[in-house]
Amino acid sequence: MEITTALLAEYIAQRKIQILRSLFGEYNIVNLAECAQALGIEDILFLLKILPKDISGALFSYFSIEKQQEVIEIFNSAQIKEILDNLFTDDITEMLSDLPANLQRKVLQAVSAETRKEINEILSYPENEAGSLMSTDFVEIKNTDTIKKAIERIKQQGKIAETVTQCYVIDDKRRLVGALALQDIMFENQKEKVADHMDSDVISVLNHTDQEEVSHTMQRYDLLVVPVVNDENCLIGIITVDDIMDVIQAEVTEDIHKMAAIRPLDDSYLKVPVMHMAMSRVPWLLFLMVSATLTGMILTRYETVLATVPALAAFVPTIMGTAGNAGQQSAVMVIRGISVDGMKFSDLFSVVSKESKISFYIAGILFLVSLCRSVFLPPNAALNIAVVVSAAIATAILFANVLGGILPLIALKLKVDPAAMAAPLITTIVDGVTLVVYFFLCTAFLGL
């Protein structure tokens, strides 16, 4: 049977509580939440009230932030508490950070003092730090426990934990000393000590570690969960890989936006308001337009050259465009190399050497094609003009490739974001240099 919004609405209208409960017990909650979300707010509140508390918690957690907000506005403290008691702390904090201040307060007042303290701690971290992503719902075992005791703890805490794939072992000062999984101990002698069976080489991250580094760590060690510790190595939370996948997507979108000279936007294209979107694009457009004054000045300076041989002007966009594209290509390769393969400033020499060699091939091929194109396609230039144009393209490619390759590394060294800096700077510099090279070649070899 396919679940639809209409079907849910019908059962709700007929108050078929038993059928609804069994539907929500049986079908996948993500799909159900998508259908339920399209219901009227009255129907949604009805559902949240009649469903078992763990299911209504899960249902709520898959609603959009707008729906969550509507629900919280209407529900009273006791009702909010019931729902939040069934959410993981990272889901609560994620929701809270998107809520307006008055509703944040309403939510925080509804939860227990202990949860409030945990939530406030997580909310105190800057958005990009490990602490802000962590959940406090994990299974915690003491190193002095017997295996019997440990299994009891897993049984107790496992119901509210995000995962029991990894349980963490702490000493009497709450310092992280090991990790173990349920299957590692459940078939062992119950009287033995946890300390003898745990994996004592646990990879962890610090609460202030940048989220991008957390994602690199999890990928490097193929982790599904990573524990978060403070400066004293005390265990304070865990981060699960599903949250890290969202981080990777968000970071990548940010990088792509920056490379396209857009100030990064948080939300999806169709959701961002028009004005907000326009303002995220205007700054770099303005910068690039105004900085093009430079190319205008160079062109004005060589007005007489262009007036003497008008065909030379026809090639300006081709030369500048080709150089700009070449620079963008090498910049993107290196920017991606920095974020995926961890390229560093110390790779500068390898990059210069590699880009020089690459340019040799690219410039050679483009020189030959440009020569043919300039002579045989409009404006059917004379051979000497075609040679100058093609030589300008070849030289510009060499320059643009090397510059495009090293600028991101220099940005990294200067602790500026490589993705944000590279595109605009490369365009501006490459455009200027390309024109100067072109006119130098024109005056030198065409006797202008």
- Please list every residue from 94 through 153 that binds its own copies, using CB under 8 A: none
Nearer to its own copies, 48 or 423 (CB): 423
Task: Output phi, psi for 330, to 5 deg.
Answer: -70, -35
Among the listed residues 168, 315, 399, 439, the single contact to its own copies using CB under 8 A: 315
66 binds its own copies (CB under 8 A): no
Rg of the chain over Cα atoms, rounded to whole angstroms, equals 31
Q: Tokens 């043919």 correspond to what residue?
A: 372
Q: What is the C-alpha to C-alpha distance for residues 336 and 105, in angstroms, rounded to an integer?
A: 41
Interacting positions 240-259 with its own copies (CB under 8 A):
240-242, 244-246, 248-249, 252-253, 255-257, 259
**What's the CA angle centered on 324, arms 283 and 361, to 5 degrees?**
155
Among 35, 50, 182, 410, binds its own copies (CB under 8 A): 182
The β-bridge partners of 210 are 129
What DSSP string runs through 17-81?
HHHHHHHHHHS-HHHHHHHHHTS-HHHHHHHHHHS-HHHHHHHHHTS-HHHHHHHHHHS-HHHHH
Which residues in the 205-234 window bind its own copies by CB under 8 A?
218-224
Toward its own copies, which CB reaches closer, 397 or 411? 397
Among 127, 317, 346, 447, binds its own copies (CB under 8 A): 317
Fill in the DSSP letter of residue 109: H
Note whether 68 and 95 are within 8 A (CB).
yes
Q: For the CB of residue 38, give the shortest distance to its own copies in the complex, in Å.
A: 17
**Piece in contact with its own copies (CB under 8 A), picked from 94-102, 127-135, 276-284, 440-448:** 276-284
Among 16, 19, 26, 112, binds its own copies (CB under 8 A): 26
Q: Which is nearer to its own copies, 76 or 300 (CB)?
A: 300
CB nearer to its own copies: pick between 110 and 262: 262
Which of positions 390-419 make contact with its own copies (CB under 8 A)? Answer: 393, 397
Give the whole-angstrom CA distance, residue 386 versus residue 429. Answer: 24
- Residue of 7, 299, 410, 446 interacting with its own copies (CB under 8 A): 299
CB of 361 to its own copies, least distance (A): 4
Query: d(Cα 386, Cα 380) in Å, to the nearest integer?
Result: 9
Is the CB of residue 8 less than 8 Å from the CB of residue 39?
Answer: yes
Cβ of residue 79: shortest distance to its own copies, in angstroms? 25
To its own copies, the closest distance from the beta carbon of 259 in angstroms equals 7
